[in-house]
Amino acid sequence: MKRLWLLFAQTTTVLLATYFVVLTLKPQWVGGSAVPAGAPESISIIQAAPAPAGSAGGAPESLSAAVRKAAPAVVSINTSTTMRHPFGDDPWFRFFFGDAGAQQQSGLGSGVIMSAQGYVLTNNHVVEGADAIEVVLPDARSAAAKVIGTDPESDLAVLKIELDQLPVMVLGNSDQLQVGDRVLAIGNPFGVGQTVTSGIVSALGRNQLGINTFENFIQTDAAINPGNSGGALTDVHGNLMGINTAIYSRSGGSLGIGFAIPVSTARQVLESIIRHGQVVRGWVGIEPGELTPELAQTFGVRVEQGVMVTGVLGGGPAAQAGIRPGDVITGIGTQPVRTQSELLTRIAGLAPGQAVDFSVHRRGQQLALRVTPAQRPRPHQPGAR
């Protein structure tokens, strides 16, 4: 009896030990669903289907289609300039300092192919003074470029290259831009290769920055760096909205404040240079001033928007039409005038010799004076007479 009890106890001990081992290592063998304490909880994961091309998977629409449309027409521009010491040809200078020789200085920028004929638009400061200009396309083709014309007053220049089957930028309507619209900046910053950045329109009509004579900039926070100058600012559909021109920076890098010339201005400059070899602008001979409450009270002005005429050139188109100091110009043709930059832009866009009505407010009276603009004199260039 004692032997049977000992056998039963040993058998029970072995079975219990086997049960605990199986329960620990292979719980599914005993049909239970319990998870040992401290074990990680099982999680069911549903993998989302791959997002279709051109989609951002629930986020705003991808900008890849806009890049594919616009980027092929944005080129890199490499320039080289021979720098000579101003006294390099003086015998005494060469006696004491030897032959300083000529040094090659290189520069880089970006440009936009505007037509299948090979016209490329860029900034004037990118190519100014260059002895040789090379345009490099995103498809690795390159060509020497010829300067067709420059316009320092808008900081734009038109080049021409001789290549076949050129991609061409599609022009948008910069007048329809609104603050908050998404935009892309495409160019060749620091010479690293074509780069695309995105942002929004931060402001419109920026002026009095001391960059150009005619300032009506689009401000954007899309990253613009050295080398982006002359590149494209496009909308989310890949249409050209402006030519990237300048950045506000204390370090030389992007701080989220960049400026672009609106395509409406760029197109006017392009067409005028191609047609006339220079930009032909209207001119009426007035000195504009800000319409302040003090001036409005002094001259009896009862309008809230417009530009005060502070001076009129004797014998000029404005004087001949009867415009006087103290008048407030509120419109030119069918377009309103609210700021000095708008006034300068409107006048510059007038065709010389074609009369247009100026809406003028004078001491409580609203007048329509017909002015025949002349051609704006070319700015004085160093060494010119």
185 CA to centre of own chain: 5
Q: How many CA atoms lie within 13 A of 79 on its CB side?
A: 22
Map residue 311 onto helix, strand or coil.
strand
Is residue 62 part of the annotated active site? The answer reads no
Give me the catalytic one of 76, 110, 154, 155. 155
**DSSP string across 36-70:** -TTPPPP----PPPPPPTT--TTSSPPSHHHHHHH
DSSP state of 305: S
Clarify whether 276 is annotated catalytic.
Answer: no
Q: What's the farthest any 2 CA atoms get from each other in the chain?
A: 141
- CB within 8 A of 130, min separation 6: which ones? 79, 80, 81, 107
Residue at 166: amino acid letter: L
Q: Residue 28: what are its φ and ψ, rounded to 5°?
A: -65, -20
3-class SS at 133? strand
Q: What residues are paired with 288 via a beta bridge? A: 309
Which residue from 184, 168, 201 is spatially nearest to 237, judged by alpha carbons?
184
Catalytic residue among 229, 254, 341, 359: 229
Gap between the Cα atoms of 291 and 283, Å rounded = 21
CB 110 within 8 A of CB 121: no
Q: Give φ, ψ of 324 to 5 degrees.
A: -125, 160
Burial (CB count within 10 angstroms: exposed 0-12, middle 13-18, buried 19+), residue 58: exposed
Give the number of residues written for the chain: 385
Annotated catalytic residue 229 = yes
What's the CA gap between 222 and 200, in Å, rounded?
7
For residues 261 and 143, the answer to whether their CB atoms sit within 8 Å is no
Q: Give φ, ψ of 246 to 5 degrees.
A: -150, 160
The owner of tokens 């030897």 is 98
Q: Which of 76, 110, 125, 254 is catalytic?
A: 125
Instruction: Find the distance separating the first CA and the last CA of the chain, reported in whole Å.
Output: 135
Catalytic positions = 125, 155, 229
